[in-house]
Amino acid sequence: MTTDIERLHRADDTIAYESAGSGPLVLCVPGMGDLRSSYRHLVPALVAAGFRVVTTDLRGHGDSSTGFASYGDGETADDIAALLDHLGSPAVVVGNSMGASAAIVAAARRPDLVSGLVLLAPFGRNPTMSRAMTAIMRAATAAPWVRFVWKAYLPSLYAGAKPADQAEYTAEVIAALRRPGYAAAFSRTTRLDHAVAERALPDVHTPTLVVMGERDPDFADPRAEAEWLAGELGGSTVMVPDAGHYPQSQRPDLVAPAVVRFATEVVQRG
């Protein structure tokens, strides 16, 4: 990765991103509560395969600013489109979790900018949750204590294999939330609604790869969810053993070759 952080201006706020390598463009979008460095194990493989890889922070996360009026899948989809317009190139968009939901919406709204989709642990629709559980989650993710809740909850999403640098990365995530304004922005992001992604599915016609950890705790049946979404999008699936919600960092030995192969096929198709 380069050490230079670049910034896309969105009205009075900014989206932070980094670029590495040269060649056809791949844009990597992290999930809610995560940082662009969640792709630290995937980027080197894509660069070595001849791609230019841009990793971005979500609005209100990482090195992006926190003054945005709203947060969610639709807003992040608009940020993806604005960034690709700024970069001047369509891209294979790789999204994890909420980033995958936003990538779906971006592909529906701006098919000229999205040449392929890699959806890692994606939310193509809202998970089934009772009203009581929804109320509990909203209370638990309120700004005053969301940082502590996320620190306690995040390890459970890494069911299965753990990256060797997991402790350092988790510390980086929590440190980012300690800065003024970032816990509040994260709390507002947790109020998102994935229904916008589900409504967008019929309008997505780009090649799609769905990658799901077999032990992803965010889904009652990860395989069934992956196969449902791939079926809706006419895509294919890769199930990753011994991985939870972050297969790109938990099992890069399996995920990186699959993503490189898919991105290469998209480019070759033209």
pLDDT above 90 coverage of the chain, percent: 89
pLDDT tens column, 112-138: 999 999 999 999 999 876 565 566 667
**Mean pLDDT on 76-83:** 98
State mean pLDDT over 27-54: 98
CATH number of the domain at 6-269, please?
3.40.50.1820
pLDDT value at residue 132: 59
- The pLDDT of residue 91: 98
Lowest mean pLDDT among 29-38, 60-69, 102-111, 136-145: 136-145
How far apart are the C-alpha atoms of 218 and 118, rounded to whole Å? 18
Task: Give residue 141's pLDDT.
Answer: 76
For the segment 208-231, the average pLDDT, to the nearest whole number, is: 97
pLDDT band at 270 (very low <50, low <70, confident <90, very high): confident
The answer to whether the beta carbons of residues 158 and 250 sit under 8 Å apart is yes
SS3 of the chain: the string is: CCCCCEEEEECCEEEEEEEECCCCEEEEECCCCCCHHHHCCCHHHHHHCCCEEEEECCCCCCCCCCCCCCCCHHHHHHHHHHHHHHHCCCEEEEEECHHHHHHHHHHHHCCCCEEEEEEECCCCCCCCCCHHHHHHHHHHCCCCCHHHHHHHHHHHHHCCCCCCCHHHHHHHHHHHHHCCCHHHHHHHHCCCCCHHHHHHHHHCCCCEEEEEECCCCCCCCHHHHHHHHHHHHCCEEEEECCCCCCHHHHCHHHHHHHHHHHHHHHHHHC
Beta-carbon count within 10 A of 117 CB:
25
183 — phi, psi (to 5°)? Answer: -65, -40
What is the pTM assigned to this prediction?
Answer: 0.95
Q: Which of 64-68, 77-81, 90-94, 149-153 has the lowest mean pLDDT?
A: 149-153
Average pLDDT over the chain, rounded to an integer: 94
pLDDT in tens, 48-65: 999 999 999 999 999 999
pLDDT of residue 131: 63
Q: Is the pLDDT of residue 3 over 70?
A: no
Segment 161-174 mean pLDDT: 96
Q: What is the mean pLDDT of residues 62-85?
A: 97
- And the tokens for 113? 């900018």
160 token code pair:
């299965």
Place of tokens 């994935």: 194
Let me know: does 244 contact 215? Beta carbons within 8 Å. Answer: yes
**Residue 1: predicted pLDDT:** 40
